[in-house]
Structure 1
Amino acid sequence: MPAGKHMTDEIDQQPAIFADLLAAQHEIAEVAGVIARRKPRFALLAARGSSDHAALYAKYLIEVLLELPVGLVSPSTTTLYGARPDLTDVLLISVSQSGGSPDLLRVTESGRERGALTAAITNNTSSPLAEAAELSLGIRAGQEQAVAATKTYSATLLTLYLLVDAIRGGDGTRARALPELATAALSERGAVDEAVQRYRFADRMVTTGRGYSLATAQEAALKLAETSYLSARAYSGADLLHGPVAAVDEETAVLALNSNGRGGESIREVLDVVHARGADICAIGSGAAHSAAAHRIPLPDCAEEVSPVLEVLPVQQLALGLALARGFDPDSPRGLNKVTKTT
């Protein structure tokens, strides 16, 4: 089998998965209705790896669209230190593509015992995690063969968006065009192929974004590290200017997520500073044309709150292309597996 065959196929499956999720919105609405009726006063998100980046996206969604305070759980406070805070009237969402992470299972079980309304978002609806939570939703991505998460990550993003939107009484209107937009984004390979040739010999890369796009910046760094063994580090645009920018120079490649909206407008100011330091900037997103960048990968315009679902697609293609160009097989990254079992 050719190197990267599984990852290639799974990247290409994403538009159809988005359409399937949108068609199953009634199931998501039922879960959202339970949450809305319970009126949580606070939300907590528990996740590991790529799912943790999806949880960061959900954090922005819940804080902006529902105006609820949100925290990201540190599983070790439960698994190592045995902390048992009162979680009455708290919504605890556990995000795990496999549903097989022991520490997330313990966090979910413990949270439910302490009064939380627990919900599991997973690709395995018969997993221990899904069974442990009071509510569960499947991301409907099908089995993923490649070790690097692609379709399960984007499907998790869309599931989380549809859930939060339904909690606020929405019907997913702003996400309805995603299958068509994703097809268009994946078919425009020219700019991605050029980026592969441009960065195939890079030793280190910084990824950055603001607002909703910060989740994509985090995921981009992980994908580049695990498939191409690049030294990749993600920063929010604001954090990048407070110290790390001192390490940015002509030898630094910067991958910047820049979609239209408030986050994109803010990141452009950051890129002006980074550009002045001589960094080689690759801007990805619907607002890339307005960035100070040496290379741009444009995307179709969409509502800012769903832009991470599209932004990650060329990121995945870039990670795949760089891995192959550097002589690696992204389907089998050395030393990695699909289930995080840290306890």
Structure 2
Amino acid sequence: MTQRGQGMADDIAEQPEGYARLLEGEPAKAIAEVAARVAERRPRHAVFVGRGTSDHAALYAAYLTEIRLGIPVGLASPSAITLYGARPDLAGALVVGVSQSGGSPDLTEVLKVARESGALTLAVTNNPASTLAQTAELSIDVAAGHERAVAATKTYTAELLALLLLVEGIRNGDGTLPADERAALEKLPRLAAEVLADHGTDELAQRYRFASRLVTTGRGYAYPTARETALKLMETSYLPALAFSGADLLHGPLAMADPDVPVLAVVGAGPGGRSMTDVVARLGERRADVVTVGAADIPGASGRLAVPAVDERYAPLLDILPLQRLALALALARGEDPDAPRGLKKITSTL
């Protein structure tokens, strides 16, 4: 009989290998070819669409695209098309559907309508034979392999890395990466393995075992990590978790912070991380139980999940790893089976 949580544990442990696989050989070459084709089309703006975990990867890509490519970015509302019959004019846009399974009908419909209106469409999936991939003009296989647990872990980080390679390849014009960028990214598998070797999340899971609610927060590139963490905690431990950008947290929700509401704050390097130091300090003033995720101790926090200091663009690929481990450990501590959360399936079809 398989031990509870073993599937999710195995999926999490495979992520360093997944990073190496995407960075080497055919997967990297395929992404570079797609990036070159997108760069050739010179899209004036981009639209990303996803659901659940993949929506958080899409949000990360939206930050990357606006910051690194300097073009406007939007996140599509599939229901505008599937429920209300909207047919937006997306001529000249890059429209990217991000989906682990590639099987959600609403995402497929968005790409279908976008392509009919003249957009360049791209599917980023773990299933190159999926309907989404077949509908799009271009597709990227994130090559994560079979995911055992219902809760997505390795497919999420594979999406992040594939989207990072895509955007940086577009920025470089021909799909390739500068030598210094390539060298920095090649360190990710080793750094990820080091993060996963630290089992400090087990103690934190015991600390949060009887929590009734929790808050996650981050800014910029870290905000998708905060949202993905909240989702993982809710779907594996059934723990109500609210995700806020650091800026939004200060605009009202800060009032609910107190010693009984744990806060997980993702604080990396760069502008996003620096802006979070004030957020953590304000939470500390309210005596909130704040644990940060980052490379340095932050005043106002009561603990830290340590990750190496890297470029802010790469940090989401490392920051999420201890938080996935925390979701796994907390679910087990609360007597749940994170491999098969109640009421959930691996593929969710929405219209």
- 2:18 equivalent in structure 1: 17
Q: Is 1:7 paired with 2:3?
A: no
Give the CA deviation at 1:199: 1.1
Which amino acid letter does the alignment assign opposite residue 122 of structure 1?
T
2:237 corresponds, among 201, 214, 228, to 228
1:303 corresponds, among 298, 308, 311, to 311
Q: Distance in 1 between matches of 2:75 and 2:186?
A: 29
Q: Is 1:215 paired with 2:224?
A: yes
Give the CA deviation at 1:86: 1.4
Quick check: 2:280–2:298 contact (8 Å CA) kept in 1? Answer: no
Q: Is 1:175 paired with 2:175?
A: no
Q: CA RMSD in A?
A: 0.9
Q: Distance in 2 between matches of 1:187 and 1:162?
A: 26
- 1:233 is paired with a residue whose SS is strand
2:135 corresponds, among 126, 132, 157, to 132
Give CA deviations for 1:103-130 in whole Å, capped at 9, x if unaligned: 0011111110010000000000000100
Quick check: 1:144–1:152 contact (8 Å CA) kept in 2? Answer: yes
Give the CA deviation at 1:295: 1.2
Give CA deviations for 1:29-78 in whole Å, capped at 9, x if unaligned: 10000000000000000100000000000000000010110000000111
- 1:251 equivalent in structure 2: 260
- 1:239 equivalent in structure 2: 248
1:36 corresponds, among 34, 39, 44, to 39
- 2:214 is paired with a residue whose SS is strand
Quick check: 2:7–2:148 contact (8 Å CA) kept in 1? Answer: yes
- 1:290 is paired with a residue whose SS is coil
Give CA deviations for 1:202-243 in whole Å, capped at 9, x if unaligned: 111000000100000000000000000101000000000101
Quick check: 2:294–2:305 contact (8 Å CA) kept in 1? Answer: yes
- 2:123 equivalent in structure 1: 120
Unaligned runs of 5+ in 1: none
Q: Distance in 2 between matches of 1:132 and 1:342?
A: 17
Unaligned runs of 5+ in 2: none
- 1:277 equivalent in structure 2: 286
Quick check: 2:293–2:307 contact (8 Å CA) kept in 1? Answer: yes
Which amino acid letter does the alignment assign opposite residue 47 of structure 1?
G
Greater Cα shift, 293-302 or 166-175:
166-175
Quick check: 1:283–1:291 contact (8 Å CA) kept in 2? Answer: no
- 1:306 is paired with a residue whose SS is coil
- 2:274 is paired with a residue whose SS is helix
1:153 corresponds, among 153, 156, 170, to 156
- 2:84 equivalent in structure 1: 81
Quick check: 1:92–1:108 contact (8 Å CA) kept in 2? Answer: yes
Runs of 4+ that moved beyond 3 A:
none
1:94 corresponds, among 94, 97, 105, to 97
Alpha carbons of structure 1 residues 308 and 291: separation in structure 2 relative to 1, 3 Å: farther
1:204 corresponds, among 213, 222, 229, to 213
Which amino acid letter does the alignment assign opposite residue 6 of structure 2?
K
Q: Distance in 2 between matches of 1:185 and 1:306?
A: 14
Q: Distance in 2 between matches of 1:27 and 1:89?
A: 23
Q: Distance in 1 between matches of 2:299 and 2:77?
A: 36
- 1:194 equivalent in structure 2: 203
Give CA deviations for 1:170-190 in whole Å, capped at 9, x if unaligned: 51523221100000000011x
Which amino acid letter does the alignment assign opposite residue 193 of structure 2?
T
Q: Is 1:292 paired with 2:300?
A: yes
1:185 corresponds, among 181, 192, 195, to 195
Give the CA deviation at 1:291: 4.3
Which amino acid letter does the alignment assign opposite residue 9 of structure 1?
D
Q: Distance in 1 between matches of 2:148 and 2:23?
A: 24
Q: Is 1:322 paired with 2:330?
A: yes
Q: Distance in 2 between matches of 1:85 and 1:232?
A: 34
- 1:200 is paired with a residue whose SS is coil
Quick check: 1:258–1:291 contact (8 Å CA) kept in 2? Answer: no
Quick check: 1:195–1:295 contact (8 Å CA) kept in 2? Answer: no
- 1:327 is paired with a residue whose SS is coil
